[in-house]
């Protein structure tokens, strides 16, 4: 039973067999040949780094990222950052991950209601296309649970849905500012561009690539899903081509994984919206997850390559 969450830890707290998810584990060796571990622990409230000196061989034999471990040790401060200095670790068999994987701060039912409203406001045949995929009884729970990434942005349960809704809202705002935009096409692209991520990630132990993510990838998988749905509802071929182009080009560059570059006004706008929303959430996720006791993060953001200043008022 979990009794202490990372967001409530205080310097000096003693931990005895408190369960945490091992998000990262890095074995190291001291100059005189003694093994130690650097690690990042995670629960649904946040993450915290730590160190374990003179690690026994029996722990080195099983420890790896993705497992839940019972942690004994003490909470201390190192270079203005909260950390846990472990004295013992024990693996937990068959843990319930509800306490360990982060979730969207938005209620799931609220987001699903918002999704239904966006779809209801689409003109035909876009409404039929999007609803046939996202509101399918088997697909909707997967879409509402999936993360949008493993670590960079929206890396939490419900992250994919939150990201898609945020992009739809931005699409509505920007379509009013720029001329010539087909809003129904853009909204369909915002809601469907990442649906392949429902198959890309697994939630077993931690957010990790499933075999489909490694062998197929979310862009290709999304195109397959959309083309299959289009065939079943006799969706117009010219509109399907425009939608598939949005999905195929939404990463923006070949280097970032797009098989084609954005070539329509909606595709250019969708890529920029995706980039904006992922960067802003990536900023906020990094700041929230960092345990620095100052106004600056203690670690550099992988997304931005630098430390970040906390926005005023951010909890």
Tell me the sheet residues that pair with 14: 74
Q: Is the pLDDT of residue 206 over 70?
A: no
Write the Ramachandran bin of 76: left for phi over 0, alpha for psi from -120 to 50, otherwise beta.
beta
| Residue 309 confidence (pLDDT) | 95
pLDDT at 46: 84
- Ramachandran angles phi, psi of 218, nearest 5°: -75, -25
Query: In the chain, what percentage of residues exceed pLDDT 70?
Result: 99
pLDDT at 193: 97
Does 6-99 carry CATH code 3.40.50.2300?
Answer: no
CATH 1.10.3210 residue window(s) in the chain: 108-287
Token output for 230: 């289009």
Where along the chain do the CATH 2.40.50.140 domains lie?
A: 6-99
Tokens of 250: 């939404």
CATH of span 108-287: 1.10.3210
Closest CA to 225 of 185, 195, 246: 195
Terminal CA-to-CA distance of the chain, rounded, Å?
27
Residue 22 has pLDDT above 80, yes or no: yes
Residue 228's SS3 state is: helix
Mean of the per-residue pLDDT values of the chain: 92
Q: Do the beta carbons of residue 222 and residue 247 sit within 8 Å?
A: yes
pLDDT tens digits, residue range 211-224?
Answer: 988 999 999 999 99
**Are the beta carbons of 139 and 196 closer than 8 angstroms?**
no
C-alpha triplet 309, 288, 274: angle, nearest 5°:
85
pLDDT tier, 23 (very low <50, low <70, confident <90, very high otherwise):
confident
**Residues 31 and 24 sit within 8 Å (Cβ to Cβ):** no
Residue 115 confidence (pLDDT): 98
Which helix (H) or strand (E) segment is 168 a member of? helix 159-177
Cα distance between residue 243 and residue 235, in whole Å: 11
Q: How far apart are alpha carbons 100 and 95 in whole angstroms?
A: 9
What pLDDT band is residue 66 in, cutting at 50, 70 and 90? Answer: confident
**Number of other CB atoms surrounding residue 222 within 10 Å:** 25
This model's pTM is above 0.95: no
Q: At what angle do helices 183-192 and 108-120 cross, to 10 degrees?
A: 150
Report the SS3 class of residue 292: strand
pLDDT for 232 beyond 90: yes
- Give the DSSP H/E element, type plus range, for residue 208: strand 208-209
C-alpha to C-alpha distance for 272 and 103, rounded to whole angstroms: 25
């Amino acid at each position: 039973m979990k009794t202490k969450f990372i967001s409530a830890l205080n310097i000096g707290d003693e931990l005895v067999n408190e369960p945490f998810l091992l998000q990262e584990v890095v074995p190291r060796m001291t100059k005189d040949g003694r093994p130690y571990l650097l690690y990042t622990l995670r629960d649904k409230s946040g993450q915290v780094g730590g160190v374990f000196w003179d690690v026994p061989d029996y722990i080195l034999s099983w420890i790896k990222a993705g497992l839940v471990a019972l942690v004994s040790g003490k909470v201390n401060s190192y270079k203005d950052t909260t950390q846990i200095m472990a004295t013992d670790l024990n693996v937990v068999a068959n843990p319930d991950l509800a306490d360990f994987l982060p979730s969207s701060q938005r209620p799931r039912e609220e987001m699903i209601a918002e999704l239904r409203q966006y779809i209801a406001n689409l003109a035909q045949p876009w409404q039929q296309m999007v609803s046939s995929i996202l509101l399918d009884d088997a697909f909707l729970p997967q879409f509402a649970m999936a993360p949008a990434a493993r670590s960079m942005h929206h890396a939490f349960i419900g992250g994919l849905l939150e990201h898609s809704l945020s992009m739809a809202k931005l699409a509505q705002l920007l379509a009013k500012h720029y001329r010539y935009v087909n809003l129904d096409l853009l909204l369909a692209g915002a809601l469907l561009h990442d649906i392949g991520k429902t198959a890309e990630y697994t939630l077993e132990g931690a957010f990790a690539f499933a075999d489909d993510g490694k062998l197929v990838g979310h862009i290709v998988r999304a195109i397959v899903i959309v083309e299959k749905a289009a065939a079943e509802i006799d969706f117009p071929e010219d509109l399907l081509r425009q939608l598939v182009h949005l999905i195929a080009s939404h990463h923006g560059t070949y280097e970032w994984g797009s098989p084609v570059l954005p070539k329509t006004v909606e595709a250019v706008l969708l890529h920029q919206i995706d980039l904006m929303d992922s960067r802003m959430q990536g900023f906020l996720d990094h700041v929230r997850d960092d345990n620095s006791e100052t106004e600056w993060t203690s670690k550099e953001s992988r997304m931005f390559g630098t430390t970040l200043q906390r926005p005023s008022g951010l909890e």
